[in-house]
Amino acid sequence: MKIGYPCINQSLDCTSSRTFRLASYSEERLVETVALNLACLQRILEYNVQNGLLFFRLTSDLVPFASHEINQFNWQEHFKSEFQQLGSYIKQHNLRISMHPDQFVVLNSPNPQTVKNSIAELVYQGTVLDLMELDTTAKLQIHGGGGYGDKGAALARFAEVYHTQLPEAVKARLCVENDDRTYSLLDCLHLHELTGLPIIFDNLHHECVHNGEPMREAVEMAASTWKPERDGILMMDYSAQAPAERKGKHVQSISEQLFHDFLAETEGMDMDIMLEIKDKETSALKAVEVARALGRL
Partner DNA sequence: CGCGGTCAAGTGGCT
Partner DNA sequence: AGCCACTTGACCGCG
Residues that bind DNA (CB under 7 A): 6-8, 15, 17-24, 57, 59-61, 64-68, 100-104, 106, 109-111, 114, 117, 121, 143, 145-148, 180-182, 205, 237, 246-250, 276, 278
Q: Which residues pair with 273 in a beta bridge?
A: 3, 236
- Nearest approach in angstroms of CB 228 to DNA is 25
**Nearest distance from C-beta of residue 59 to DNA, angstroms:** 5
In this structure, the chain runs to a length of 297
Distances (CA, A) of 176 to 196, 198, 287: 10, 7, 24
Q: Which helix (H) or strand (E) holds 89?
A: helix 80-92
First-to-last C-alpha distance (Å) of the chain: 6
CB 126 within 8 A of CB 140: yes
Nearer Cβ to DNA, position 139 or 143? 143
Nearest to 121 by CA among 185, 64, 40, 177: 64
For residues 197 and 167, is the Cβ–Cβ distance under 8 A?
A: no
Spatial contact of 215 and 206, defined as CB atoms under 8 Å apart: yes
Q: Is 3 helix (H, G, I), strand (E, B) or coil?
A: strand
CB of 121 closer than 8 Å to CB of 104: yes
Rounded least distance, CB 40 to DNA, Å: 10
Q: Residues with Cβ < 8 Å from 185, sequence gap 6 or more?
A: 178, 199, 201, 206, 210, 211, 213, 218, 221, 222
**Residue (71 or 85) nearer to DNA, CB:** 71
Between 277 and 290, name the residue whose CB sits nearer to DNA.
277
**Is the CB of 95 or the CB of 275 nearer to DNA?**
275
Q: How far is the CB of 30 from DNA (least distance, A)?
A: 11
- CB of 60: closest distance to DNA in angstroms? 6
What backbone phi and psi angles, to 5 degrees, belong to 174?
-75, 140
Nearer to DNA, 215 or 294 (CB): 215
- Nearer of residues 239 and 266 to DNA, judged by Cβ: 239
Shortest distance in whole angstroms from residue 267 CB to DNA: 26
Cβ distance to DNA smaller for residue 271 or 277: 277
Which one, 137 or 178, has the nearer CB to DNA?
Answer: 178
Q: How far is the CB of 213 from DNA (least distance, A)?
A: 19
Distance between CA atoms of 25 and 7, rounded to whole angstroms?
23
CB of 155 to DNA, least distance (A): 12
DSSP 131-177: HTT--TTSEEEEE----TT-HHHHHHHHHHHHHHHS-HHHHTTEEEE
